[in-house]
Amino acid sequence: MPSSPRLRLSQPFSLKFEAIGTSWTIEVYEAYDRLGDLQKSIQQRIAAFDHVYSRFRADSVVAQIAREAGNYRLPDDAAPMFNLYQQLYDLTDGAMTPLIGQALSDAGYDASYSLQPMPIRSVPAWQEVMTYDGATLTAKRPVLLDFGAAGKGYLIDLVAQIMVQADVRHYSIDAGGDIVTVGQTLNVGLEHPDNLNQVIGVAQITQGSICGSAGNRRRWATYHHVIDPHSLTSPKHIKALWVTAPTALVADGLATALYFAPADSLRRYFEFEYAIMHEDYSLVSSPGFPAQFFGADS
Amino acid sequence: MPPESTSNSRQKTMVIVGILALIVIATAIALYAKNKDEVGTVTENPAQTSTTTESQASGSTVEYKDGTYSATGNYQTPGGTESITVKLTVANNVVTTSDVTTSQTSQEAAEYQAQFKANYSPFVVGKDINDITLSRISGSSLTPRGFNEAVDAIKSQAQA
């Protein structure tokens, strides 16, 4: 990889840690003398987010909403994420929904990772059980919310905001394969869902986000991390998919929405590129998806 | 999606099933050849093939022997018997080329098979990550330790 002329460190500064159930790697590609403060701000930001939105900890706001109906004043950062969920809920006929939390938990993906499937209760319609007015969430009855579809991408964007506030100009943030890079070209291998030692292509990203989704990890019994609220099963028609978009919130959200809605319909509302590997290993990608794939002609 | 007549979609499904079965067969030949030190060609009726591959995600790599593998499958249509051949070339444990060739006796079959090839090509293949310069990997999100431990615990319970 050609090194940036601004790159003054022989090795990028790299911060690695585990948070919100995945591995993070944050790299800074320029000389920066406040790395200690930066690291502290990042970890505080992630902790604050987790404390509100995690369904895996009993002291979160989400856990409280699962116990009690009522009005919950959410932090200001909630609005962009809720708005995206609301929009994708509508565009997927309710298939992509934060109300999938109870179904995931019933299927065994619960706070204690029991992975023991129980009968899945039906998933309620959004308007029947809750409203969100841009600040306050009103739960008409206790509901278990799950922000696994877009929450991690959104948190990556929030960490990117910390980098900007700290005047870092060249960096990348990788949370378990969902990535934002700013000012540094990354060659991102697109993991073969059947063979973790292989990739099916390489995407080149310089600015913006790439997020992926596949059913090969977080898999148990007959389920993976995406459950269709209508059929109460995990979709099998897609083996893996990737989305590039200006923000990780949009890329991550669409990486789930594409299980439920055709790309063309979503492209009327969002600026993104995509690649979908189907269960028969056929690949469909948008013309602008910035990757080279390994196929019959390579 | 535009509505399709039942026979159209059934025929389309048969073609897809046929090709999937052929890929399974070609892979099986590759594995067989690894053990037997030979390259094989096989002709089978995919409709009678009940083999399925359910690959487990794991760190281990299956070893394939270099060579070209092909399998031909036949399927019945209202217009008679049609066939499709799938060819894979394996080099250094990686599928380097894959090709689907068709032979049709009816115009209708030719159209469906052309449509299949247009819609279902290319089939992607994997390359070893050690052979490529990568900054990062993207796929399904890495799992937390607790999740993996739970999966392991269930597996060992199942064996007990």
Quick one: pLDDT at residue B58?
37
Per-residue pLDDT at B124 exceeds 80: no
Question: Tokens 């115009």 label which residue?
Answer: B107
Question: Tokens 């809750």 label which residue?
Answer: A130
Quick one: pLDDT at residue A294?
87
Q: Does B158 touch chain A (CB under 8 A)?
A: no
CA nearest B54 in A: which residue? Answer: A194
Mean of pLDDT values over B37-62: 35
Quick one: pLDDT at residue B36?
39
Write the pLDDT tens digit of every residue in B6-25.
445 555 555 555 565 666 56
Whether residue B1 is contained in a domain is answered as no
Helices H / strands E in chain A, number of each: 8, 12
Contacts of B100 (CB under 8 A, 6+ apart): B19, B84, B85, B86, B87, B116, B117, B121
Whether residue B149 is contained in a domain is answered as no
Per-residue pLDDT at A104 exceeds 60: yes
Confidence bin at B102 (pLDDT 50/70/90): low
- Selected residues 174-233 of chain A with any CB under 8 Å from a CB in chain B: 174-179, 186-203, 210-220, 225
Degrees, nearest 5: CA angle A132-A209-A90: 35
Whether residue B148 is contained in a domain is answered as no
CA atoms A132, A87, A242, A276: torsion sign: positive
Strand, coil or helix: B36: helix
Percent of chain B with pLDDT over 70: 21
Q: Domain of B57?
A: 6-132
A119 vs A96, A103, A108, A109, CA distance in Å? 20, 9, 10, 13
Whether residue B139 is contained in a domain is answered as no
Per-residue pLDDT at B85 exceeds 60: yes
- Selected residues 75-134 of chain B with any CB under 8 Å from a CB in chain A: 94, 97-99, 119-130, 132-134
Whether residue B142 is contained in a domain is answered as no
Write the pLDDT tens digit of every residue in A140-175.
999 999 999 999 999 999 999 999 999 999 999 999
Per-residue pLDDT at B94 exceeds 70: no
8 Å CB contact of A281 and B147: no
| Residue A178 and residue A251 in contact, taking contact as beta carbons nearer than 8 Å | yes
- Selected residues 137-156 of chain A with any CB under 8 Å from a CB in chain B: 152
Number of domains composing chain B: 1
Q: How far apart are CA B92 and CA B67, in angstroms?
A: 9
Whether residue B57 is contained in a domain is answered as yes
- The beta-carbon neighbor of A217 closest among B120, B132, B140 is B140
Percent of chain A with pLDDT over 70: 95
Quick one: pLDDT at residue B48?
31
Global ipTM: 0.78
- The beta-carbon neighbor of A115 closest among B59, B126, B150 is B150
Whether residue B143 is contained in a domain is answered as no
